[in-house]
Amino acid sequence: MKFAAGADHAGFAVKTVVVTHLRESGHEVVDFGTGSETESVDYPSYAHRVARAVADGDAERGLLVCGTGVGMSIAANRHAGVRAVDACSVAVAEMSRRHNDANVLCLGGRLLSNDEALAITDVWLATPYEGGRHARRVALIEQGDA
């Protein structure tokens, strides 16, 4: 699977661990940065780069990491076709895939240990989308204010 990945300075360390894990698991990862945890950067820039890659079909899935995952998910979800989830637990990661077909995983670099981030990522990757009654609901997301 091809991933687009990005992080701000607060998410750099966790992003690095997860990207390494993804690559070791056989996934292709295009890393949009940042490349430092010491230089302060603006998270929306990275969220938009990753979200555009997913929305345009240049990547199948996305990974975004900031301090809490909240800002990244808000920015990424501004893009049509992107369903970004701030997965703070394995249970949230599983249900976001099963019911919402989430295609961008957002993580909180200041909230999760490396082991927690990897466990969330692995469940998110392994969980299939159920479709069925959920497909109608996912389609409604794209309708905006319908």
Active site residue 66: yes
Burial of residue 26 (CB within 10 Å: 0-12, 13-18, 19+) is exposed
Find the catalytic residue in 21, 48, 99, 134: 99
pLDDT digits (tens, 9 = 90+) for 25-64: 999 999 999 999 999 999 999 999 999 999 999 999 999 9
Alpha-carbon separation of residue 135 from 35, 43, 87 (angstroms): 37, 30, 21
Residue 95 is assigned to a structural domain of this protein: yes
Amino acid at the residue 146: A
Find the catalytic residue in 66, 79, 88, 106: 66
Structural domain of 46: 2-141
Q: What is the CATH number of the domain that holds 130?
A: 3.40.1400.10
Number of domains in the chain: 1
For residue 52 the two structure tokens come to: 């555009």
Q: How confident is the model at residue 143 (pLDDT cuts 50, 70, 90)?
A: confident
Active site residue 106: no
